[in-house]
Amino acid sequence: MEHPDTGARADFAVVDIDRERRQGLPEVVYAPGKDLHEITAIVGELTANCSGPVLVTRIEADAAAAVLADVPDGHYHRRARLLTWRPAARRRCRVCVVTAGTADGRVAEEALQVCLAVGLDAHLVADVGVAGIHRVLNRVDELRAADIVIVVAGMEGALASVVGGLVGCPVVAVPTSTGYGAALNGMTALAAMLTSCASGMSVVNIDSGFGAAMAAHRLAYAIEARG
Amino acid sequence: MEHPDTGARADFAVVDIDRERRQGLPEVVYAPGKDLHEITAIVGELTANCSGPVLVTRIEADAAAAVLADVPDGHYHRRARLLTWRPAARRRCRVCVVTAGTADGRVAEEALQVCLAVGLDAHLVADVGVAGIHRVLNRVDELRAADIVIVVAGMEGALASVVGGLVGCPVVAVPTSTGYGAALNGMTALAAMLTSCASGMSVVNIDSGFGAAMAAHRLAYAIEARG
Amino acid sequence: MEHPDTGARADFAVVDIDRERRQGLPEVVYAPGKDLHEITAIVGELTANCSGPVLVTRIEADAAAAVLADVPDGHYHRRARLLTWRPAARRRCRVCVVTAGTADGRVAEEALQVCLAVGLDAHLVADVGVAGIHRVLNRVDELRAADIVIVVAGMEGALASVVGGLVGCPVVAVPTSTGYGAALNGMTALAAMLTSCASGMSVVNIDSGFGAAMAAHRLAYAIEARG
Amino acid sequence: MEHPDTGARADFAVVDIDRERRQGLPEVVYAPGKDLHEITAIVGELTANCSGPVLVTRIEADAAAAVLADVPDGHYHRRARLLTWRPAARRRCRVCVVTAGTADGRVAEEALQVCLAVGLDAHLVADVGVAGIHRVLNRVDELRAADIVIVVAGMEGALASVVGGLVGCPVVAVPTSTGYGAALNGMTALAAMLTSCASGMSVVNIDSGFGAAMAAHRLAYAIEARG
Amino acid sequence: MEHPDTGARADFAVVDIDRERRQGLPEVVYAPGKDLHEITAIVGELTANCSGPVLVTRIEADAAAAVLADVPDGHYHRRARLLTWRPAARRRCRVCVVTAGTADGRVAEEALQVCLAVGLDAHLVADVGVAGIHRVLNRVDELRAADIVIVVAGMEGALASVVGGLVGCPVVAVPTSTGYGAALNGMTALAAMLTSCASGMSVVNIDSGFGAAMAAHRLAYAIEARG
Amino acid sequence: MEHPDTGARADFAVVDIDRERRQGLPEVVYAPGKDLHEITAIVGELTANCSGPVLVTRIEADAAAAVLADVPDGHYHRRARLLTWRPAARRRCRVCVVTAGTADGRVAEEALQVCLAVGLDAHLVADVGVAGIHRVLNRVDELRAADIVIVVAGMEGALASVVGGLVGCPVVAVPTSTGYGAALNGMTALAAMLTSCASGMSVVNIDSGFGAAMAAHRLAYAIEARG
Amino acid sequence: MEHPDTGARADFAVVDIDRERRQGLPEVVYAPGKDLHEITAIVGELTANCSGPVLVTRIEADAAAAVLADVPDGHYHRRARLLTWRPAARRRCRVCVVTAGTADGRVAEEALQVCLAVGLDAHLVADVGVAGIHRVLNRVDELRAADIVIVVAGMEGALASVVGGLVGCPVVAVPTSTGYGAALNGMTALAAMLTSCASGMSVVNIDSGFGAAMAAHRLAYAIEARG
Amino acid sequence: MEHPDTGARADFAVVDIDRERRQGLPEVVYAPGKDLHEITAIVGELTANCSGPVLVTRIEADAAAAVLADVPDGHYHRRARLLTWRPAARRRCRVCVVTAGTADGRVAEEALQVCLAVGLDAHLVADVGVAGIHRVLNRVDELRAADIVIVVAGMEGALASVVGGLVGCPVVAVPTSTGYGAALNGMTALAAMLTSCASGMSVVNIDSGFGAAMAAHRLAYAIEARG
């Protein structure tokens, strides 16, 4: 196996600039726990050493503004808490992001905006939870036109199972921390999605719209590799 | 408040023979942890001191046969593991027991047979899990004709939310221990049902077909009290 | 099955305006996680397309005032955190809400006020926890006069079992997050109520006074359907 | 502090023969995980070096018979799974062991028989669970005559709270693993008892009739020390 | 059984004024979740209808000052967060409160001050955790002079087992939420104390210095009843 | 949406014969909890009404032999506990199943054999756990040649993160119940995989080799739909 | 970094024959989940390609006899369930294995025998649990003479904290699954040891005598590397 | 065993001034839950009665400044939240602290600075998480030059297993609370490290950089004792 020469090593971080070659996308920066100067330095390394889109996730508006002051030409999406530079050209992979309720919107927005930032052809089908099952049934054609469906749902997460049974393509379920009491901060939706009666779904971490978008990127990577 | 004179006190048990007066049904005997002679003695007390149906739940076939040898004129339902004497006359309350999959059948059977034994007008809609959502949609009329719907489902328990959104009457959800891994022996279905997006459902203990049937009995009791 | 034409679809929400037909009550709005303009818009849709009472739950006083400024003729109940328009006419179903201690009052108030807002004949029996068992025994007549009893209790939730044994009608138990340490934010009361020795009780989510009221509405719906 | 010279040291065990002096009772042998020859050897050491009663707990009938063949003059109580030599003379402390249901009988029997073996004045009040609250109310005089009450209950364990409110003396609650599903093998009863609204109760481990009896012994020790 | 006429019933509370007769101590007021006017009203009822000490636990300094303004002649102990009126005369029961570390001090103080307020002869042995085992060994005489020992410890709670093996009298263990990570907010100390190798200890809820003091009160009640 | 006429309804089951049209594969039969005659009947329905491969998973050798006696021309794979009829023609999608240790072999075999049975081009890379990291590094070319990688690992599941960082294609992680103690029957591996530092992996239920194979089928379905 | 050429690759296993060079000890075979022929083959590879001791852990007597029939000159230790070939020469590192009770003996035996098999100078101090604290205090000199102390304890695991405070050398704590109820199969001892007030202890998995012995081997490796 | 005369006893604390003799290092002060005057008093006792380095851990900058005003000549390390007086002379033991990501930096800094303060020869290898496995492989020589490696990692903690397989010396794993959702505040990393496939690693509490440093101190103590 190759041993790339470590790339850009700082005191505090070793940026994996080889990742773009291995996985078709530069390393993405997860903001929590990092100082502003660390974020700025890492973004600088990525911009200098990679050619694809550069993303910072889960960054609040104030911090984003401070980073943008240092690293210009970026764009901040407030609801998705996403900071981007050099968004990718549109790729052919169609992603449908479906949500059970309006309270799941912020996580869905992260999934949607990360998909768009890395070039996927993504759109949103919102608020079609199963308590009114006709809502999702009326949108079946949109779901079936996608190459991958991301289902974002909290509480009991039942929408994932229904969607999983309606479409044949890959379904990635994102449990959210919406709800209270026995919702257990998303653990219930997580466990429910993992034990879904609709086979072949897979699951990412609670509230991880980013993780689902990256799963979509991997799918697009595989489809493109086949071309 | 009344203080009934304790009724039938044995060394090992104090049979609550006043319960039939308070709740319209004699105490029901839960077999696990009781010796055969204890079951026989309690059934004898209930038969002697009450007028309604006498039930023993969760009793295996061998034990049931032994008890029947001592207390004649009873009937054993093997799949429901239910032993009954003096089944009740048919009452007007219509119960629909719905299951997600065939593996939930044993719990559903307990719910169904206890309902029938206490006189409710119950029937079964089996194997209509949400992975093929059209299956339950095709049975909506049956569901809507009921006074109470009991939904029996394991794994992620999503069927309860869908049914809860389709009908207006009381819905009692019974999580089952069907499934493995993240199903957590029914805890996932239990938590999922408690956090359902379909409001007004209520939940009983894991695998407790009996508990759901008793909830149906309470509903019938209330309806009859209105008459 | 019918496929109602989705009703009022906004960018962010698909209001289930068919629900009033299916379940006898318009969709109820859960405020947490929704912006003010979203709440206002959804309330507007419900008011325009439905005829029954419109409710917003778990809304704080400031937000309620802002919504009321946009949508007049509503009423805010501070302790229940409930916002209502067009309260229903009184229906015949009698609900008794019982609490174990004063710390359970807020959840009980939500149960009580939602019941009243949807037209049920509800009243409160407060602070009759089992550490002084004579308190609940002195109120047995009130409990037995109800069509449904809602028991609100935190800590170990023992009151539910005692009440469940005293009355014959449906009992819905609401565990609360009252307590500390081993109370586990209400999980202990929840599990205790699910394993109650009083058969036929059913349980809703922790702190969900709303859920219990909706269970009462479903009961009333069934009773009315019998008429 | 004293440093007793370790007493009887074997390869596999260091019998704490000083314990009788410190706590008024020889070390009690817990059988599970010990070979027969280990049990026999330890009992031999205790018999030789102590003067009080010698007990082996949780020992099955076959093993007990084998040990009795080697160490004569003992007595085996099958339901309590208790093996004893030299039972103590009757002490003045009155213990009342109360159970919620017949399924808790085995644990209650261990509590009762260990109390008797160490000389306490113990008796049983069985099957007075709260689903029929009059059963325990009818026995209040017996409860109030005790110096300590041991409450043995599984499922939701509500009996402990009711008893805790009825008597002024020490109450030790023993959760049992009776029940299924959300009973969580006794964890629910355990947590419920720890969060009881009846103040001043204390709790021992699940199914530990022995632990409760030892708590009663400690109480008797304190009362005797006052004399 | 007696049925005292409920005593002082308010809209929000039913004060159990019979408790002093049943248990030798008036009901104690738990402040969290109660409004100031509720606390004041309940304290007023207790002062008027009972003769013993009146206590409010877990009340912060501001709230205590406000209540004291309305109900004079009380005393506030800041570290124990305890408000008292009419402290009891000294009773003969000797209580030793032992702590593992200084971080457990607040809980220990609640145990100590409640004991003193109800008349017990209590004192503190602080900071003798087992990491330096000689510290507790040097205090054995003080421990052995007590009628009951309360052990307050967080983290792994090992001090309880050591003390439980050193004394013959009742030992009540109070797990605290001291610690982080695997301490699990006191659950680890709680479970550790419940499974202690020192037999006959009993356990109260996490951080419940109050509960341990009430267990001591029950012991004193039993000793006094013997006199 | 379409409402297929429910297909083959038996007393005990409603076979979803429309699933092949929706998802490119007939319903797969999960054996646990089903009687032999139920399995046989369902397989008969699927064979008669569908054209693709028919699979029964988690069926033991004895049961498989009995079913094969009734429904000929099938094949049983003992290690995978898989029974198949009409295996699919080879499809273009390349699947690499990777295992951390030999103890994960049974789950990996289920993944592998289900992939082969539904026509995917699958092979195994066994026993390359990270305790000897060179083992997986020596197989990187094989991993990178795949369209999808399935990582099967128990204990801490670290292999999934390493593989997730080495390849760009979709990675589905299957936690196994291998290990003891803190492995928590696979829950630790499950949680570890969900929080992997390698982004874009997705996870299926514990021991669900079947679930991972179905995720691979969904990927192939999407790739084929693009053609 | 080196990339050793993978060594001995079989269909089912990739034996890490480079491990002896990296870590001073050949790979150790964990028997559960492996067939006899797999164990035999792996042992053969290790014997042929390595020079140090070859160990198989957690192997039952029957399986051990079968393997020994194929691979001669080995030795089986029944209580430790350990199979060894070519035991190592004595190394200078002194290990003291301490147990709380006789029920921890099997796990302690695994720790002891693995230490001896890899050449460490190990001995056992048994049954010195803290309920009789003088037992461990009487053995302090033995503990202080060791280079590393392994503490094996179940239930609440308090012995680890006491020993951790008595010695200055490394202490490795092994929680065992001894106990019941709140012992939670060893999770309580595990969590207790992780939160010990004695600083600098470290912990291995539940019942992992092997893991502790390997930690001792690592210590010896470091000491030898300093020489 | 010795019984040192308790040393410095205050009302609130019993400083273990004998610890330096037993373990080669004075007691370390854990700041949370202690008042400033308590910290100052304890530091004063330690400075007066011991000769080695005095440390206060987890102390925030404000509190540190206040203590330093009273006890001069100390030094505060802000990122490690560590306050020290009389740092030790350099000892020969080489410690390598390795981190998976920048978010683990604060815990790693505590480990590093405590090691340095007690005289160990420690340095940091930062941000070499396994998602880019070449990063840690490029640092193998640094890892292998150490006498002990401390691995600090959150989320799934996979780095610990990889490092554990690369080096022969003792490895202490520190799980961190980095991550969200299924990371469970560090419990997932903790459980993962305890079940690592790399044998002989040991684990300390979540976020306990201090605990790992103390384990390193114990190792150095053992090595020095051999000299």
**Up-side HSE of residue D53: CA atoms within 13 Å toward CB?**
20
For residue E178, what are the contacts with CB-CB under 8 A and spacing of at least 6? E101, E103, E104, E153, E154, E155, E186, E189, H33
Rounded Cα distance between E29 and A96, Å, is 56
Which structure tokens are listed for F148? 């999808």
Which residue of D27, D94, D190, D202 is the best one to mutate when testing the E interface, meaning the one whose CB has the most E CBs within 10 A? D202
> 3-state class of B54 per DSSP?
strand
Q: What is the CA radius of gyration of chain G?
A: 18
Ordered per-residue pLDDT tens for chain F, 227 residues:
334 433 344 467 889 989 999 999 999 999 998 989 999 999 999 999 999 999 999 999 999 999 999 999 999 999 999 999 998 989 989 999 999 998 899 999 999 999 999 999 999 999 999 999 999 999 999 999 999 999 999 999 999 999 999 999 999 999 999 999 999 999 999 999 999 999 999 999 999 999 999 999 999 999 998 76
Asked if the Cβ–Cβ distance from E181 to G164 is below 8 Å, we say no
Question: Are the beta carbons of B212 and B99 closer than 8 angstroms?
Answer: no
Q: Which residues pair with D8 in a beta bridge?
A: D15
At D8 the pLDDT is 40
* Length in residues, chain F: 227
Helix (H) or strand (E) run with residue G85 in it: strand G82-85
Q: Looking at CA atoms only, how far is residue C23 from chain A in angstroms?
A: 11
A79-109 residue pLDDT tens: 999 999 998 989 989 999 999 998 899 999 9
At F179 the pLDDT is 94
Alpha helix segments (H runs only) across chain C: 19-23, 36-49, 61-70, 105-117, 134-137, 140-144, 158-166, 187-194, 209-226
Query: φ and ψ at H113, to 5 degrees?
Result: -70, -35
The chain-wide mean pLDDT, for chain C, equals 93
Question: Are the beta carbons of A104 and A152 closer than 8 angstroms?
Answer: yes
A172-203 residue pLDDT tens: 999 999 999 999 999 999 999 999 999 999 99
Rounded Cα distance between F207 and E12, Å, is 53
Q: Which residues in chain G are contacts of D208 at CB distance < 8 A?
A: 181
Tell me the torsion sign for CA atoms D160, D161, D163, D167: positive
Other Cβ atoms closer than 10 A to F103 = 21
> Of C1, C224, C10, nearest to C119 (Cα)?
C224
* Mean pLDDT value of segment E51-55: 97
G54-88 burial, b at 16+ Cβ within 10 Å, e below that, comes to bbbbbbeeebbeebbeebeebebbeebbbbbbbbb
At D10 the pLDDT is 46
At F5 the pLDDT is 39
The chain-wide mean pLDDT, for chain E, equals 93
Place of tokens 């469970």: H184
- Write down the ipTM of this complex: 0.93
At A13 the pLDDT is 81
Residue E56, phi-psi category: left (phi > 0), alpha (psi -120 to 50), beta (remainder): beta
Which residue of A98, A180, A207 is the best one to mutate when testing the C interface, meaning the one whose CB has the most C CBs within 10 A? A180
The chains found to touch E (3+ Cβ pairs under 8 angstroms) are C, D, G, H
Which structure tokens are listed for D180? 């299924």
Exposure of B98 by Cβ count < 10 A (0-12 exposed, 13-18 middle, 19+ buried)? Answer: buried
G168-183 residue pLDDT tens: 999 999 999 999 999 9
- Kindly tell me if the per-residue pLDDT of C220 is higher than 90: yes
Q: Which residues in chain B are contacts of D128 at CB distance < 8 A?
A: 14
At B21 the pLDDT is 94
Place of tokens 């339902």: B77
Other Cβ atoms closer than 10 A to H60 = 12
Rounded Cα distance between B166 and B178, Å, is 24
> 3-state class of D72 per DSSP?
coil
At H11 the pLDDT is 64
Question: What's the Cα-to-Cα distance from H119 to each of A164, B222, F17, H90, H116, rounded to whole Å?
Answer: 59, 77, 72, 4, 5
Amino acid at H42: I
Which structure tokens are listed for B166? 């389709």
User: Domains of chain A (ranges plus CATH)?
Assistant: 7-85 (no CATH), 94-225 (3.40.50.1970)
Exposure of B11 by Cβ count < 10 A (0-12 exposed, 13-18 middle, 19+ buried)? Answer: exposed
Question: What's the Cα-to-Cα distance from E148 to each of B113, E219, G25, rounded to whole Å?
Answer: 54, 8, 54
Residue G221 is nearest to which of H137, H168, H218, comparing CB atoms?
H168
Q: DSSP of E211-227, one letter per residue? A: HHHHHHHHHHHHHHHH-
At G226 the pLDDT is 76
Rounded Cα distance between H31 and B134, Å, is 62
Q: Looking at CA atoms only, how far is residue E86 from chain G in angstroms?
A: 40
Q: Which residues in chain B are contacts of C170 at CB distance < 8 A?
A: 170, 215, 218-219, 221-222
Chain F nearest-CA residue for A227: F227
Our answer on whether B and D touch (3+ beta-carbon pairs < 8 Å) is: yes
DSSP letter for E3, please.
-
Question: What's the Cα-to-Cα distance from A160 to each of A91, A128, A185, B158, H182, rounded to whole Å?
Answer: 26, 11, 18, 9, 19
Q: Which residues in chain H are contacts of F133 at CB distance < 8 A?
A: 133, 137, 162, 165-166
Q: Looking at CA atoms only, how far is residue B48 from chain F in angstroms?
A: 38
Question: Are the beta carbons of A203 and A172 closer than 8 angstroms?
Answer: yes
At A87 the pLDDT is 85
At B42 the pLDDT is 95
C161-180 residue pLDDT tens: 999 999 999 999 999 999 99
Q: What is the CA radius of gyration of chain B?
A: 18
Place of tokens 């009980």: C108
Tell me the torsion sign for CA atoms C39, C40, C45, C48: positive
Strands H82-85 and H75-77 come out as: antiparallel
Question: What's the Cα-to-Cα distance from D102 to each of B34, B85, C194, D173, rounded to whole Å?
Answer: 7, 22, 20, 17
For residue B178, what are the contacts with CB-CB under 8 A and spacing of at least 6? B101, B103, B104, B153, B154, B155, B186, B189, F33
> 3-state class of D114 per DSSP?
helix
Asked if the Cβ–Cβ distance from C203 to B214 is below 8 Å, we say no
pLDDT confidence tier of residue E227, bands split at 50, 70 and 90: low
Rounded Cα distance between D124 and D150, Å, is 9
Chain B nearest-CA residue for C201: B215
Q: Looking at CA atoms only, how far is residue E149 from chain C in angstroms?
A: 22
Chain A nearest-CA residue for F136: A1
Measured distance between the N- and C-terminal CA atoms of chain D, rounded to whole angstroms: 25
Rounded Cα distance between G40 and A65, Å, is 64
Q: Which residues in chain E are contacts of C102 at CB distance < 8 A?
A: 12-13, 33-34, 38
Rounded Cα distance between H174 and H193, Å, is 8
Q: Looking at CA atoms only, how far is residue H143 from chain E in angstroms?
A: 27
Tell me the torsion sign for CA atoms H99, H104, H107, H110: positive
A59-82 residue pLDDT tens: 999 999 999 999 999 999 999 999
Which structure tokens are listed for B144? 């809507």
User: Chain C interface residues facing chain E, Cβ-Cβ under 8 Å?
Assistant: 102-103, 105, 126-128, 131-132, 134-135, 137-138, 178, 180-183
For residue B67, what are the contacts with CB-CB under 8 A and spacing of at least 6? B36, B39, B40, B43, B56, B59, B74, B83
- What percent of chain G shows pLDDT beyond 90? 87
Q: Which residues of chain D have pLDDT under 70?
A: 1-11, 227
Which structure tokens are listed for F214? 């179905």
Residue H3 is nearest to which of E105, E128, E134, comparing CB atoms?
E134
Exposure of A44 by Cβ count < 10 A (0-12 exposed, 13-18 middle, 19+ buried)? Answer: middle
Query: φ and ψ at G122, to 5 degrees?
Result: -110, 145
Chain E nearest-CA residue for C183: E205
D72-128 residue pLDDT tens: 999 999 999 999 999 898 998 999 999 999 889 999 999 999 999 999 999 999 999
Asked if the Cβ–Cβ distance from H103 to A208 is below 8 Å, we say no
Asked if the Cβ–Cβ distance from F197 to H165 is below 8 Å, we say no
Residue E135 is nearest to which of H12, H14, H34, comparing CB atoms?
H14
Residue D192 is nearest to which of C132, C133, C192, comparing CB atoms?
C192
Q: Which residues of chain B have pLDDT under 50?
A: 1-10
